[in-house]
Amino acid sequence: MPETAALLGFFETMQRIRLFEEEVTRLRVSGDVVGSVHLCNGQEAVYAGACAALDLSRDAVFPTYRGHGWTLACGAPPYRLFAELLGRETGINGGRGGSAYLTAPDHGMYGENSIVGAGAPIAAGAALAATFDGSGRVALAAFGDGAMNQGAVHEAMNFAAVRGLPVIFLVENNHYSELTPIADMVRVDKLFKRAAAYGMPGARIDGNDPHAVQQAVAQAADRARAGRGPVLLEAMTQRIVGHYIGDAQLYRPAGELDRALAEEPITRLLEVLRRVGVTEAELDECTGRIRAEIAEASRRALSDPPADPTTVLEHLHA
């Protein structure tokens, strides 16, 4: 069991992500945020635990398009992130990235990718560079269970294993590849077992326990930094919202969402915090403080000027 301070740190990070996503939902429904938005409610422990294990002054995170939680866990300010989703010139990418293409390199987050699984070979490239630049960098590629069936992910894992690259492949297994259960798409749904075919370690971890995620990622990072090559981690979790805003989730069996809500990471962590003596007043104070932070960040971003469309071709490289 980690110390109470560490548990409270996880709780704060996870609550910030959850409340941010709830505010994004409101802004999308109101029409202030436009375009496709993929929320990460229910998967917060993966981000909080993994980022707590990394050295984000040098390590590099490459998330999938469900990347708001990763960006916040890496330390990006909610205000700059709201401004980005709202297309404001004060956004973390000047309003150019939006929800699915944002990047925060100053915080160790090197860009979402809306091509499923495409972050894996990019992370392998960052890990390859680390073998030459002496940085000691570890790259983490995060993607969903469906991305495990992409050819680019296979190529990235094979290349990383052959070259012994310092990269962690982290599967966020939320049981659904968009709207299809992963069990309906593969013969063997224990995805971590694929690691053996590449000659690297693989493990399935509790993705609803931030401490378990932290420990697994820390061990993988130590191994990678020691020159012993990549690791495949399968973090078992569930999203408690649709694949995208507006997804009615009619494909989910009766009772499944209720079970997921009972097991989701913030609910579980609250039970742990109460057991170790954290009072309801302390928990309410923490949640209230973060709620106020998110509300103020959203209000401030909404009042900012939109990005100038005449600058759309600036910072564009092809």
The tens digit of pLDDT for each residue in 296-305 reads: 999 999 999 9
Count of domains forming the chain: 1
Classify residue 18: in a domain, yes or no: no
23 against 35, higher pLDDT: 23
Classify residue 182: in a domain, yes or no: yes
Of 205, 229, 227, 228, residue with least CA distance to 216 = 205
Whether 316 shows a pLDDT value over 80: the answer reads no
Whether 57 shows a pLDDT value over 80: the answer reads yes
Torsion angle, alpha carbons of 282, 287, 291, 294, to 10: 110
Tokens describing residue 100: 């699915």
Classify residue 24: in a domain, yes or no: no
H/E run at residue 217: helix 210-225
Classify residue 300: in a domain, yes or no: no
Whether 116 shows a pLDDT value over 80: the answer reads yes
C-alpha 186/C-alpha 138 separation (Å) is: 30
> What is the mean pLDDT of the segment spanning 226-252?
95
Classify residue 6: in a domain, yes or no: no
Classify residue 82: in a domain, yes or no: no
Q: What is the CATH number of the domain that holds 248?
A: 3.40.50.970
Classify residue 148: in a domain, yes or no: yes
Query: pLDDT-derived band of residue 315, with 50, 70 and 90 as boundaries?
Result: confident
Q: E-strand spans in the chain?
A: 60-62, 139-144, 167-173, 176-177, 180-181, 202-206, 231-236
Is the model's pTM score more than 0.85? yes
Q: What is the pLDDT of residue 229?
A: 98
Query: pLDDT-derived band of residue 41, with 50, 70 and 90 as boundaries?
Result: very high
H/E run at residue 52: helix 44-53
Q: Which domain holds residue 143?
A: 33-74+104-276
C-alpha 260/C-alpha 271 separation (Å) is: 15
Percent of the chain with pLDDT over 90: 92
Classify residue 64: in a domain, yes or no: yes
- 110 touches 142 (CB < 8 A): no
